[in-house]
Structure 1
Amino acid sequence: MAAALAAMVVLALRTVAGAASTPAAAAATTSRSPVIYIFGDSMSDVGNNNYLLLSLAKCNYPWYGIDYKNGYPTGRFTNGRTIGDIMAAKFGSPPPVPFLSLYMTDDEVLGGVNFASGGAGLLNETGIYFVQYLSFDSQISSFEQIKNAMIAKIGKKAAEETINGAIFQIGLGSNDYVNNFLRPFMADGIVYTHDEFIGLLMDTIDRQLTRLYKLGARHIWFSGLAPLGCIPSQRVLSDGGGECLDDVNTYAIQFNAAAKDLLEGLNAKLPGARMYLSDCYSIVMELIDHPEKHGFKTSHTSCCDVDTTVGGLCLPTAQLCADRRDFVFWDAYHTSDAANQVIADRLFADMVGSGAVVPRNGTSPPRVVSAPAPAHASPARMP
């Protein structure tokens, strides 16, 4: 589950200083809505993989997007909004657009951008059997392209100030377990003990977040892992048939503890860095253990009943549940629109409670852009 969540975020609500001479620059420097950058996997993807012709990690099937604008697929791996969509609305901003939908000359490069890619992980080898995807390293390189495009439009000073005051939301790590370490045919689960694997992940995150910092990121919200042992695709692997996998949940808890220590270390080492770990584990576990508390009825299986299906996605032949609002999980890996609302509400409350974020008044569902075209329809947009 990517992760999700989510999904993780850097915010500045101040007006960007340094007015520029072009209309595009003036718009960028007078807007008071926060700029949001999202990095992640399928929990956060809003259509980037639709532009990757060879990618096997896509969800362009009927049922996906059924509760989104016009009811058709948009590249989101859920029935409606992602956590990032809902968080953007809470900040009074439209949902960040898919990176691969942009020309580097578009004025949209001055606003929020979503780099998330289904199948992606922290490690470059994670998701390799999806053929084409944007790993976290690739997403950071894509952000660097956006920064260079911003500099060309509004100058280095204004671009730096915009980035320094942006929200960086990062939700990665789930696939490094679900589609890597826990897969018997992937080398990492054979080569490394779990302690060694966490060490590898932390070294990788350290390098990646330091690179983002050098590119101007200051306020970063990194989403901790959810209880991966309780997602439908993992439950079906239990000996008892449907129980949570305690060892996998323990892995997630250990990852989160190590990530929290790492972020605190980076804050101490990097001047001006404000990096936080979002507690997705407890939020999602509460939904799983007490679904009725939030108006759900089912938290152990997916709405479209694909827990044991290869790929775990809601294919057109899937039979949907009678009421999608009753289910925490949409498919075997991803939470439903209704669950994403609960998760986003809690994450936002935690962010405001930390004192690091000033709330805005936009809390309604976000303005929705049209669904992105397939890869072959606009090759010129590929960076």
Structure 2
Amino acid sequence: MANKNIILVVIMITFLLWFCQLSTTSFSFAYPLVPAIYAFGDSLADVGNNNYLVFSVVKANFPHNGIDFPTKKSTGRFCNGKNAIDLLAEKVGLPYSPPYLSTLYKLEQRSKNFLTGVNFASGGSGILNQTNHQYSLCLTKQVSSFVKVHEALSKQLGASGLNQHLSKSLFVTVTGSNDVFSYFGSADLRNKTTLRQYINSMVVTFKGQVKSLCLTKQVSSFVKVHEALSKQLGASGLNQHLSKSLFVTVTGSNDVFSYFGSADLRNKTTLRQYINSMVVTFKGQVKFVIVGIGVIGCTPSERKSNKAEQCNEEVNSVAVRYNEALTSMLKSLKVEQKGFIYSYFDGYSVMQNAIHKPATYGFSEVKAACCGLGKLKADVYCLPVSKVCSNRSSHLFWDANHPTESAHRLFVDYIFGGSSPYTFPLNVKQLIST
């Protein structure tokens, strides 16, 4: 009998350990801190959208990518395991957000997926429409896709329910690096646009997309106008045009009439709640988590370009200038739009600290990639034929351009619970409680 009891206890402990591991990799916690995460950006946030872009050559749906992911398979993440969006989902108790394009092929799961979040990020994309537009979905297109999600959620939750849902959710953006690389990679672009103009166009465009996540339905029409104007005026001309234009909103009356015209609405919602939902929607009260550009001049792909394997400080200086312009814009937007709440993560400084003092952050290799071939394993990208390091957790870089899961985890720890000067004016934990 004693032996049977021991066996039973062992089985129960084994099951509990298995369940705990499973719950942290593919299931949400019982009480998530937020209802959903909606992610936008580039390959640092992509969880597989590019898998569905037939024309794209920027993909990570092959080995050795995903070698440390729970499924041990490549998923389209440009990483050996989980990326920052996955790890942030774990922090707040949510399942991993699916790539938006995957939901188009899973109609029966679409509504359920939308409720806990969707990932719109696309590897290679940028803030500006022209950045790698041949093989990625730019930020404008990602926001346009969110409009469709917004419409689906509106039908499912109703106006009041949707407003509450979105006001408590997190909107995460990780973008900008590819715009900087594109500028240095195009002599034609540098001849046409000064660096100052280019950075300004990035910030103005990003600001427009952030604001467009407010009056979403009307903005869906404006997205089409924006695309048409972009073709007509070009990126630089469009930015100048919009920065000098007036955007006028005259709205609210019909919401009041709708309230008094619907007994069902009045039974479900008090007048105070209804007015509050109108104000929240108009203010665009959305909680943003905005990640600045990292030390992209110190990636293996940049280091291998010089004999001394030093960082490309010219590229780094542009990242710094953009981040400064971005944080300045965010402060002004906070004043302009009272409902705008955000957390900014200075990934540049944290990444720089890890490079200068690797042991302090648990790294032993901060120059070379873990997966690849050639100098610093960056001459040939991470492919099935590439060599993979065994000590992946001690590497800062997974491949020529992307961080390892360990690096992503470091960043998310700061994003979720860090403090100024690295995470400000709020961290995500504080953002959630506002």
TM-score tier, shorter chain, comes to: 0.7 to 0.9
2:304 and 2:90 map into 1 onto residues whose CA distance is 35
- Secondary structure of the equivalent of 1:182? helix
Of residues 297, 320, 323, the one that matches 2:388 is: 320
Check conservation: 1:168, 1:217, Cα contact below 8 A. no
Check conservation: 2:345, 2:414, Cα contact below 8 A. no
1:94 and 1:173 map into 2 onto residues whose CA distance is 26
2:166 and 2:145 map into 1 onto residues whose CA distance is 14
The amino acid of 1:289's aligned partner reads H
Decide whether aligned partners of structure 1 residues 76 and 307 sit closer, same or farther in structure 2, where only a CA change above 3 A counts.
farther
Q: Does 1:175 align with 2:246?
A: no
- Secondary structure of the equivalent of 2:384? coil
- Secondary structure of the equivalent of 1:266? helix
Higher mean C-alpha displacement, 342-351 vs 261-270: 342-351
2:429 and 2:197 map into 1 onto residues whose CA distance is 39
The amino acid of 2:57's aligned partner reads L
Question: For structure 1, which runs of at least 5 residues remain unmatched after alignment?
Answer: 1-29, 361-383
TM-superposed CA distance for 1:354, in Å, is 4.9
Check conservation: 1:213, 1:273, Cα contact below 8 A. no
The amino acid of 1:102's aligned partner reads T
Per the alignment, residue 372 of structure 1 pairs with: none
1:36 and 1:304 map into 2 onto residues whose CA distance is 30
Check conservation: 2:344, 2:426, Cα contact below 8 A. no
Q: Does 1:244 align with 2:314?
A: no
The amino acid of 2:352's aligned partner reads M
TM-superposed CA distance for 1:247, in Å, is 1.5
Check conservation: 1:65, 1:79, Cα contact below 8 A. yes
Question: For structure 2, which runs of at least 5 residues remain unmatched after alignment?
Answer: 1-30, 217-283
Per the alignment, residue 119 of structure 2 pairs with: 114
Of residues 338, 349, 356, the one that matches 1:289 is: 356
Per the alignment, residue 304 of structure 1 pairs with: 371
CA deviations over 1:118-146 (Å, ceiling 9, x no partner): 01100011013xx3321100010111110
CA deviations over 1:350-372 (Å, ceiling 9, x no partner): 26885564379xxxxxxxxxxxx
Q: Does 1:332 align with 2:334?
A: no
2:116 and 2:374 map into 1 onto residues whose CA distance is 38
Check conservation: 2:372, 2:378, Cα contact below 8 A. no
Q: Does 1:256 align with 2:323?
A: yes
Higher mean C-alpha displacement, 210-219 vs 46-55: 210-219
1:167 and 1:222 map into 2 onto residues whose CA distance is 10
CA deviations over 1:83-117 (Å, ceiling 9, x no partner): 11111111111121111111465322222111100
Residue correspondence of structure 1 range 114-153 to structure 2 within 5 A: 114-128=119-133, 131-153=134-156
Per the alignment, residue 429 of structure 2 pairs with: 358
2:374 and 2:402 map into 1 onto residues whose CA distance is 11
CA deviations over 1:256-277 (Å, ceiling 9, x no partner): 1100010111110012111332
Per the alignment, residue 371 of structure 1 pairs with: none
1:58 and 1:112 map into 2 onto residues whose CA distance is 22
1:90 and 1:276 map into 2 onto residues whose CA distance is 15
1:206 and 1:43 map into 2 onto residues whose CA distance is 20
- Secondary structure of the equivalent of 1:106? helix
TM-superposed CA distance for 1:188, in Å, is 2.3
Residue correspondence of structure 1 range 18-37 to structure 2 within 5 A: 33-37=34-38
Decide whether aligned partners of structure 1 residues 59 and 193 sit closer, same or farther in structure 2, where only a CA change above 3 A counts.
same
Decide whether aligned partners of structure 1 residues 91 and 297 sit closer, same or farther in structure 2, where only a CA change above 3 A counts.
same
Q: How many residues align?
A: 326
TM-superposed CA distance for 1:227, in Å, is 1.0
1:249 and 1:31 map into 2 onto residues whose CA distance is 37
The amino acid of 1:202's aligned partner reads V
Check conservation: 1:50, 1:75, Cα contact below 8 A. yes
CA deviations over 1:232-284 (Å, ceiling 9, x no partner): 1111223x431011121111111111000101111100121113321101111
Identity of aligned residues (%): 32
Structure with larger RCO (C-alpha < 8 A, sep 6+):
1
Per the alignment, residue 14 of structure 2 pairs with: none
Residue correspondence of structure 1 range 64-213 to structure 2 within 5 A: 64-103=65-104, 105-128=110-133, 131-178=134-181, 180-184=182-186, 187-213=188-214
2:424 and 2:201 map into 1 onto residues whose CA distance is 32
1:171 and 1:357 map into 2 onto residues whose CA distance is 15
1:200 and 1:35 map into 2 onto residues whose CA distance is 30
TM-superposed CA distance for 1:149, in Å, is 0.4
Check conservation: 2:125, 2:136, Cα contact below 8 A. yes
Check conservation: 1:168, 1:221, Cα contact below 8 A. yes
Check conservation: 1:170, 1:221, Cα contact below 8 A. yes
Per the alignment, residue 39 of structure 1 pairs with: 40
1:299 and 1:274 map into 2 onto residues whose CA distance is 34
Q: State the TM-score, normalizing by the size of structure 2.
A: 0.71
1:260 and 1:354 map into 2 onto residues whose CA distance is 10
